[in-house]
Amino acid sequence: MFTDRIWNRVEPIWHSYLEHPFVIGLGDGTLHQEKFQQWLKQDYVYLIEYAKLMAIGSAKSRDLETMGLFANLLHGTLFMEMDLHRRFAKQFEITKEQLEATDASAVNTAYTSYMLNHAQRGGPEHVVACLLACAWSYNFIGQHLSKVPNALSVNNPYHEWVTTYSGEEFTALTEDAKRLMNQLTEGKPETELAELEEIIVKTSYFEYMFWDMCEYLEEWPIPQK
């Protein structure tokens, strides 16, 4: 399967996430609140753009089954992931209006622009390639952190993050995305497979840059007026 091939490329990249101080802090509860607020706001506006990928994928679908899978992924993003962010925002005293008014950082802008560019130019298989690393790697991280002592304890202020991304509902959405990737790449020539693989590798690097951006509170190199 194509996702097996992908795993061989992204596994070392994704294992580096597990060693990232931001991710470690999520698991053991030591992450500074200001850094989590950075992730919360930046990831919220990221998800708005990310959701557009599923809408593009649904529009580009060649059959109802594929259209439905994209629609299900879109529903999960809008009404599960973004609800989690809104709950966290309330907990950390950030209003919904403040979330939506967040100015995307340089890394965030580059990442979402890269995905939307490839999604709009390509077919539904390109759309899945663009969205796969985010969903799959978050599930990968969530499942790893769920095994960290006390990560799921209410004493960890980020336990709901771990619970959500390691949970059955998000795992099912991730498996849907992987299955769709395998279906849409079946019988594709090597030139197309290599192109899709490169998209997933590049978005995996963007994921690491996103963790860095949150850890170091990065916005733009020159402050905006």
CB of 25 within 8 A of CB of 39? no
Torsion angle (degrees, nearest 10) of CA 174, 175, 181, 187: 170
For tokens 């053991």, the residue is: 28
Full-model pTM: 0.96
Residue of 170, 190, 145, 204 whose CA lies nearest to 7: 204
Residues tagged active-site: 134, 207
pLDDT tens for the 225 residues of the chain, in order: 999 999 999 999 999 999 999 999 999 999 999 999 999 999 999 999 999 999 999 999 999 999 999 999 999 999 989 999 999 999 998 998 899 899 999 999 999 999 999 999 999 999 999 999 999 999 999 999 999 999 999 999 999 999 999 999 999 999 999 999 999 999 999 999 999 999 999 999 999 999 999 999 999 988 766
Residue 139 · residue 73 · CB < 8 Å: no
The amino acid present at 195, given as its one-letter code, is: E
